[in-house]
């Protein structure tokens, strides 16, 4: 039998504990099935249990490495306790309180010896309140539950962040606002206006979630969606926050970004930061069409973005850059035309020199319901201007495109030829805009055959769905 050295064992434990801590203190993504969350929590709990029972050395090493906790569950010898177990089982609360009293009366060193997860080591606690239907709980029981959680949290003297895995209900925000801890990381915040059937008939507006002002204890938000409300209201909510990681914006008014930049950052001060400065991903919903001006302010608002998805009118964009195409009707309404080169220079330089951008997704969309004003081939000037910005970037790994002008293979070839780091592509096109589907697909096949660094390329269209798949990674595995 091969016996591992204690030093190697400790390194293995440290690596595993690091991953356990990372999982426990984060929320994978909003909208994940509650059963799936519970199963993953249970798997982690079983892993901790197995590791702690190897021997006394593993127990002590793991105990010193674990700095995160889910729902106050200390014991690896039982399944992870669900938060609603505390709420509905009075005995758990009473037993916990009794144990706390006993711990105070007994020898604390002896108690800690057999306690895998020690309170003094814990820096992060995740509470899964999304598993509870708070609307069904009477106020007295709720107050008792909140008092219990506040007392429990107070036991962890070195706690840095309290992570709340919540749902969309306004009651989840009300509940979180009553938690007495100075640094709360909220899982989800909906910033929008929702009308139910009755309110639509009466013409009244119900602001979901944002009816309740956020507690000053809430410092970070993992996922936020909406932004469909007056800028002044948004600013009052966003300004106290230190960080929002992921944003989905479904607001049609593109002037929002200008207002947010001016009020959160300052009209002429790029040195200031806001809660959006370190956002990791920004997805802008389909019906929101950007101008170069709004895109300019988006990039200023989220300078450290990892994933960026937006849509713009290519007819208008090509017209402004090259001047040889007829352009779209929206070109006449684009108020930023006179400052176009100023905005465009910043956008291309920002993309070209970006250090954190990993995924870029761009698409054609316009407020006028016309695919393209006239059929055209992307001009060389446009390809060199926009293509160079993308090709010269060294951080982008995934490039997605949607509904580009039909004759766009030259654009991709320019990027393929001048960039070896973007290895994954997907392209969605409008079938109605091309003359021959086989010819269209063959053009891309020939390009992929020529440039071997392309690992993945998916092509799909509005009529037939997936029409071509290239996946060299799958071939290598087989």
At 378 the pLDDT is: 84
Is the per-residue pLDDT at 121 higher than 70?
yes
What is the percent of the chain where pLDDT is above 90? 27
CA atoms of 86 and 107, how far apart (whole Å): 27
Residue 194 has pLDDT above 70, yes or no: no
Pick 251 or 62 by higher pLDDT.
62
| Residue 270 pLDDT class (50, 70, 90 cuts) | low
- pLDDT score recorded for residue 86: 56
Alpha-carbon distance of 94 to 437, in angstroms, equals 70
Of 236-245, 307-316, 384-393, the least confident: 307-316
Instruction: Express each pLDDT in 333-348 by its tens digit.
Output: 666 667 888 999 999 9
Mean pLDDT of the region 37-62: 82
Mean pLDDT score, 400-404: 89
Write down the pLDDT at residue 368: 72
Beta-bridged to residue 290, according to DSSP, are 312
Least confident of 166-175, 234-243, 356-365: 166-175
Task: Read off the pLDDT of each residue in 125-138 and give the average, rounded to a whole number.
Answer: 81
Has residue 213 got a pLDDT over 90?
Answer: no
At residue 129, the pLDDT reads 85
Q: Which of 92-96, 316-320, 421-425, 431-435 has the lowest mean pLDDT?
A: 92-96
With a cut of 90, say whether residue 116 has pLDDT above it.
no
pLDDT digits (tens, 9 = 90+) for 57-109: 888 888 888 898 888 765 544 445 555 565 555 544 444 444 444 444 444 55
The model's confidence at residue 420, banded by pLDDT at 50, 70 and 90, is very high
Architecture of domain 241-477: Alpha-Beta Horseshoe (3.80)
Half-sphere exposure of 209 (CA within 13 A, CB side): 22
Q: Average pLDDT over the chain, rounded to whole?
A: 80
Residue 44: which of 148, 128, 160, 101 has the closest Cα?
Answer: 128
Give 397 or 81, the one with higher predicted confidence: 397
Whether pLDDT at 384 is above 80: yes
Q: Is the pLDDT of residue 463 over 70?
A: yes
pLDDT at 402 over 80: yes
147-184 residue pLDDT tens: 988 998 998 999 999 999 888 888 889 999 999 999 99
| pLDDT of res. 344 | 92
pLDDT of residue 370: 57
Is the per-residue pLDDT at 318 higher than 90?
A: no
Checking if the pLDDT of 28 tops 70, the result is no
What integer pLDDT is reported at residue 180 of this predicted model?
Answer: 93
């Amino acid at each position: 039998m091969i016996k591992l050295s204690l030093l190697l064992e400790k390194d293995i434990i440290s690596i595993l504990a690091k991953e356990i801590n990372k999982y426990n203190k984060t929320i994978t993504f909003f909208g994940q099935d509650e059963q799936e969350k519970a199963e993953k929590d249970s798997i982690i709990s079983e892993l901790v249990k197995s590791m702690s029972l190897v021997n006394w050395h593993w127990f002590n090493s793991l105990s010193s490495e674990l700095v995160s906790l889910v729902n106050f569950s200390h014991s690896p010898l039982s399944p992870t306790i669900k938060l609603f177990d505390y709420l509905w089982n009075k005995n758990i609360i009473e037993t916990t309180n009794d144990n706390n009293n006993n711990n105070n009366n007994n020898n604390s060193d002896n108690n800690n010896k057999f306690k895998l997860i020690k309170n003094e080591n814990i820096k992060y606690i995740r509470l899964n309140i999304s598993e509870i239907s708070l609307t069904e709980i009477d106020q007295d029981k709720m107050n008792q539950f909140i008092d219990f959680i506040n007392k429990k949290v107070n036991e962890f003297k070195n706690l840095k962040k309290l992570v709340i895995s919540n749902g969309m209900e306004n009651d989840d925000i009300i509940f979180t606002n009553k938690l007495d801890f100075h640094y709360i990381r909220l899982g989800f915040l909906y910033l929008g206006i929702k009308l139910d059937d009755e309110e639509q008939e009466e013409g009244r507006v119900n602001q979901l979630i944002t009816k309740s002002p956020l507690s000053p204890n809430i410092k970070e938000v993992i996922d936020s969606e909406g932004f469909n409300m007056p800028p002044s209201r948004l600013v009052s909510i966003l300004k106290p926050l230190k960080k929002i990681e992921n944003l989905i914006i479904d607001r049609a008014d593109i002037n929002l970004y200008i207002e947010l930049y001016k009020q959160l950052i300052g009209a002429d001060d790029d040195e200031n930061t806001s809660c959006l400065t370190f956002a990791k991903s920004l997805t802008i919903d389909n019906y929101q069409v950007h101008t170069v001006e709004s895109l300019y302010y988006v990039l200023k608002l989220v300078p450290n973005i990892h994933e960026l998805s937006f849509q713009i009118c290519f007819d208008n964009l090509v017209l402004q850059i090259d001047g040889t195409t007829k352009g779209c009707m929206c070109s006449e309404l684009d108020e930023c035309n006179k400052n176009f080169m100023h905005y465009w220079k910043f956008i291309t330089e920002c993309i070209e020199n970006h250090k954190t951008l990993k995924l870029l997704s761009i698409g054609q969309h316009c407020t006028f319901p016309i695919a393209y004003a006239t059929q055209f081939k992307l001009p060389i000037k446009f390809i060199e201007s926009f293509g160079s910005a993308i090709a010269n970037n060294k951080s982008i790994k995934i490039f997605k495109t949607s509904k580009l002008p039909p004759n766009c293979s030259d654009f991709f070839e320019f990027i393929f030829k001048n960039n070896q780091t973007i290895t994954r592509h997907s392209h969605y096109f409008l079938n109605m805009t091309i003359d021959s589907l086989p010819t269209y697909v063959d053009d891309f096949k020939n390009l992929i055959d020529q440039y071997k660094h392309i690992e993945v390329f998916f092509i799909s269209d509005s009529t037939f769905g997936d029409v071509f798949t290239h996946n060299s990674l799958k071939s290598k595995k087989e």
